[in-house]
A and B are shown apart, each in its own frame.
Chain A
Amino acid sequence: MFYQKRWLIRYMVQRQMARSYQASYLGLLWAFLSPLLMVVLLTLIFSEIIGIKFKEVTGNPSLNFGLYLYCGLLPFLAYSQALSRGVNVIRRNSGLVQGVVFPLEVLPLTTMAASLVQNVLGVGALFFVLVLFGQELHLTALLLPLVLIPQLLFILGLCYLMAVAGTYVPDIRETLRAIIRGTFFITPILWPTGRVPEQYSFLVDYNPLAVLVNAYRNLILNGKLPDLESAFWFTLFAVALFVVGLVVFNRVKHNFADLL
């Protein structure tokens, strides 16, 4: 069903990307430049100014905390960006909802795809900096696409559900902002997994974002395979979420035009 509309999706993603960077002279180049700036900034701050060495958290002295932080931030940014746009996607495109006959299920997909493109470019920026700082590149990084697929389904499923919720109840938008901020702190991005007290270990064990963050770090920075059991459960969860999200969305999408 999405294959037929691949061209539409492609143009819609382009349109979305062009919108994000419109009226800047470098345009789409910013999709690569802004994560690059961020990773450089984080690296400099944490290695040079604050001076936290990576050994203090995992014992690999050659890595600095900025890279560690950025690597964990990548899947989280994809999630938060897609969601905060996804919740509003129907209302923002009211012209398409009310003006033409449009396959609405494409809209959350577009949001997700745009955030995916940024995610991939962010990974590119990370590699760029890793090479720049003379870090070792691990072959396991080639397995990253295998993580991206369940990540994509997970985010897409959430996008569908949020798009429905945000269309019915616009107030969800505000709530969602708080939720996204909350998930940032309960996910091991700023803090390492090992430091969680026993009674809060469920924050890591049952947190799909934690699975993603750890998988990214293991594959890119540590050259290790992610925990296969949690990866399996995550994949299963992501597929289920996607199916539920799509079914719910398709069931209620006919009402959207009435609600705007």
Chain B
Amino acid sequence: MPAVSIKGVSKRFRTFPSGQARLKEALTFGMKKYGRDFWALKDINLNVERGTTLGIIGRNGAGKSTLLSIVSGILQPSEGSVEVSGRLVALFALGAGFNSEFTGRENIMLNGLILGIERKEILERFDEIVEFADLGDFIDQPIKTYSSGMRSKLGFAVAVNVEPDVLILDETLAVGDAVYKETALQKMYDLRDAGTTILFVSHGMKTVEDFCTEAALIHEGRLMTTGETTEVISEYQALVSSLQTQRKRQRKAGDVQVPGDIALPDEEAVVLGEDTEGRVARLRSGTGEAKIRSVELLDESLSPIERKIEPDSTVTARVHLEYLEALEESEIIVTLRNKAGLEVLSISTTDDGSPLEAREKGEQVVVDFTFKVPLQHGIYILTADARVASEDLYLDRIEAPTRFRITRPSDRDAYRGVVHLPTEIKVHSPEGEKQGRSA
């Protein structure tokens, strides 16, 4: 039986334009509707096995905290159900219910009771908690004399020292000084190794990558991916960078869009990696005088690449462009970005020596961009734009990019840098020179 099992959970919030509207609806006992529904979560299904450390990632407002609130029983799901086996401790705010007049010791008891721990059990673990909090003589002082870091330490000490079966953490690791952080992290590892199931919300990808055994990506209330941590993180970073690109582009081309030809940018499609045709149909903007019919990614033998390629191999991006109007000039730009959104490569037909020249209405061109990818492993995103350089006008562009993964090199360690530039290495030593060459 999984430690946490989330079945079809959705959460609806009602939002009201004003307090009066809320009152009106309350007074009619909901017979008349004045508010609006907002779905913070939509149909989440997730099983967390015992002993898993699950990192939950996503953008602000994606619904991560709502999900954890529902798992911990603070919020009720509007639909679906959650089952938790064992004792659950949720830490959304450290030191809930602390009374600043009470001493540290008294607050340990108060906070422990508030977290739902038996008094006997708190007494048994009292010394451990005091030791872990590491507050010295302050433990007998009213906590109004504490710094905020000390309060958090105390709260954290209570929560993690009662051995929860399921621990829910919401970015609470980021408290205290460096020494304490280390202790706290060590404790988290201990709990993890002792078989505690941990659900962890964080924006710190490094922490998630180091600490979690699995990760889940939530985007706009939906569960996008779950699975191996690094995979999910790459997915998330790809999502973020494509959103950034999209926003930037929208700003640039904002007023040259032709109404009726613009589909709403659909972030899901970006993440789900739907087929090119579907994406082209749904996600594009520009004047529409020329259309990019497809972007294909081909390997050395010009057969399509199925998501993965070896580093250092040669890749061809094949762009089909169709002219719907006659144009004096135009160019195609192909851009390759890594998961952090960094432009690794950007090639333009005009700037790089193959201008497209004047074209008739209805004419079609196919342009191959062939380049080597001596790049670090990870997810890469390829986008194509058609534009008129002299007028800074976008004809067409594809918002949903073509994604592929560059694998780790099979014959050596992973590349450390973003790009593995051909480098000559010479070792000078007194006995004579030896030459080495890389890549």
Contact = CB atoms under 8 A, between A and B. Distances in A.
Interface of A: 7-8, 11-12, 14-15, 18-19, 22, 93, 95-103, 168-169, 171, 254-255, 257-258
Given A101-B90, A102-B96, A102-B116, 12 more contacts: A11-B106, A14-B102, A15-B97, A22-B100, A97-B74, A100-B90, A100-B114, A101-B88, A103-B116, A169-B23, A169-B26, A257-B75
Given A18-B99, A96-B96, A100-B92, A257 B113 contact: no
Contacts of A14: 102
Given A11-B109, A98-B92, A257 B99 contact: no
24 contacts: A7-B119, A8-B113, A8-B114, A11-B113, A15-B102, A18-B101, A19-B99, A22-B100, A93-B97, A95-B93, A96-B97, A96-B114, A98-B92, A100-B74, A100-B92, A100-B93, A100-B97, A100-B114, A101-B88, A102-B97, A102-B114, A171-B23, A257-B69, A257-B74
A22 B109 CA distance: 19
B334 to A, nearest CB: 49
B73 interface: yes
A99 B99 contact: no
Question: 5 shortest A-B CB distances, which residue pairs?
Answer: A99-B93, A8-B113, A7-B119, A18-B101, A100-B96
Contacts of A18: 99, 101-102
A8 B75 CA distance: 22
A248 to B, nearest CB: 14
Dominant secondary structure at the A interface: helix
B72 interface: yes
Contacts of A169: 23, 26
A1 to B, nearest CB: 14
A254 B101 CA distance: 30
A172 to B, nearest CB: 10
B99 A254 contact: no
A164 to B, nearest CB: 11
A98 to B, nearest CB: 6
Contacts of B100: 22
A19 B76 contact: no
B110 interface: yes
A116 to B, nearest CB: 20
Contacts of A99: 74, 92-93, 96
B373 interface: no
A101 B166 CA distance: 13
A93 B13 CA distance: 21
A8 B92 CA distance: 20
A15 B99 contact: yes
Contacts of A102: 96-97, 114, 116
Contacts of B173: none
A96 B314 CA distance: 59
A22 B144 CA distance: 11
A168 B26 contact: yes
B188 interface: no
A22 B113 CA distance: 22
A190 B93 CA distance: 48
A100 B115 contact: yes
B96 A95 contact: yes
A19 B101 contact: yes
Nearest to A16: B99
A19 B106 CA distance: 14
A228 B26 CA distance: 41
B164 to A, nearest CB: 11
Contacts of A12: 97, 110
Contacts of B23: 169, 171
B74 A101 contact: yes
A233 to B, nearest CB: 31
Contacts of A100: 74, 90, 92-93, 96-97, 114-116
Contacts of B88: 101
A171 B115 CA distance: 31
A101 B72 contact: yes
Contacts of A101: 72-74, 88, 90, 115-116
A188 to B, nearest CB: 34
Given A19-B101, A95-B93, A99-B96, A258 B75 contact: yes
Contacts of A8: 113-114
Contacts of B102: 14-15, 18
A171 B20 CA distance: 10
